[in-house]
Amino acid sequence: MTYLNQIDNEGFAIINNVYTENEIEKLISLIENVTENDSDNATFRKSQDLFAIRQFHKEVPETLDFIFNQNLKNIIESNFGKGYFITKSIYFDKPEKSNWFVAYHQDLTISVDKKIETENFENWTVKQNQFAVQPPKEILEDNFTIRIHIDTTTKDNGALKVINNSHSKGILRIENLDFENEKETICEVQKGGIMIMKPLLFHASNKTTNNERRRVIHIEFSKQELPTGLEWSERKILENNLDDFKSIIK
């Protein structure tokens, strides 16, 4: 089944029942094993409101076989075709009593291996030896993100809010978005479901109010080659994990 029209028109799609209960439990077990035994890792971020693992597919590579099940392979191929690879992944764990919230924003940066002054690559930052930069909007327009929901996510435990079709406006300052005339959707997703979204879609999340945990695996994809000298720092072609999937993402 294709969701491409919805993704193109609205900037997102929600697909439930992508993972079985057993697959979700396997993912949870692998994540908990790493977090319990490697809590001082520099890519881990922990506070009372949020736990996150950056470069998730590198830190917990054993999860890839379960993440890229046949359902997800079919979804990627039928909606986006071939040539895409992982460029970034983050695991988010929003605890039951979290007061963490995120204001409306677009995902404007990509992770690269080094800083090289390059035309139309702007707003460089570096955190923990990880370089990030805002690329030309054409790269962002072609990329997509998949968010895998390990817990049922509702408006009461931090489900994303999005502004429908805001990805079509290009890169935009938030104050230039006319909220009174825009449609907002709360993206509730069942445990084992996914949300697909475009990076330029304006999105936000509220505080948790129902004492229920919200865990999400966030994976970004691209098929764009960067200018000479620049490389995606987290680029991952999954040929070692998913031999039967080479033709889709290589």
C-beta separation of 87 from 110 below 8 A = yes
CA dihedral 137, 237, 65, 203 (to 10 degrees): -10
Identify the pLDDT of residue 36. Answer: 72
Distance CA 124, CA 107 (A): 14
- How far apart CA 35 and CA 25 sit, in angstroms, is 15
Closest CA to 216 of 28, 22, 17, 7: 28
Contact 249, 84 (CB under 8 A): yes
Domain, as residue range, for 219? 4-249
Distance CA 91, CA 15 (A): 19
The amino acid occupying position 90 is I
Give the chain's domain count: 1
Q: What is the CATH number of the domain that holds 202?
A: 2.60.120.620
The number of beta carbons lying within 10 Å of the beta carbon of residue 234 is 23
Given this model, what pLDDT does residue 1 score?
66
Which residue type, as a one-letter code, is found at position 78?
S
Q: What is the pLDDT of residue 250?
A: 38
If 0-12 CB within 10 Å is exposed, 13-18 middle and 19+ buried, where does residue 216 land?
buried
Averaged pLDDT in 10-residue chunks for the chain of 250 residues: 92 98 97 74 56 90 96 96 94 78 94 94 89 96 97 94 96 90 96 98 92 94 94 81 41
Amino acid at 55: Q
Chain centre to alpha carbon of residue 108: 13
Predicted TM-score of the model (pTM): 0.90
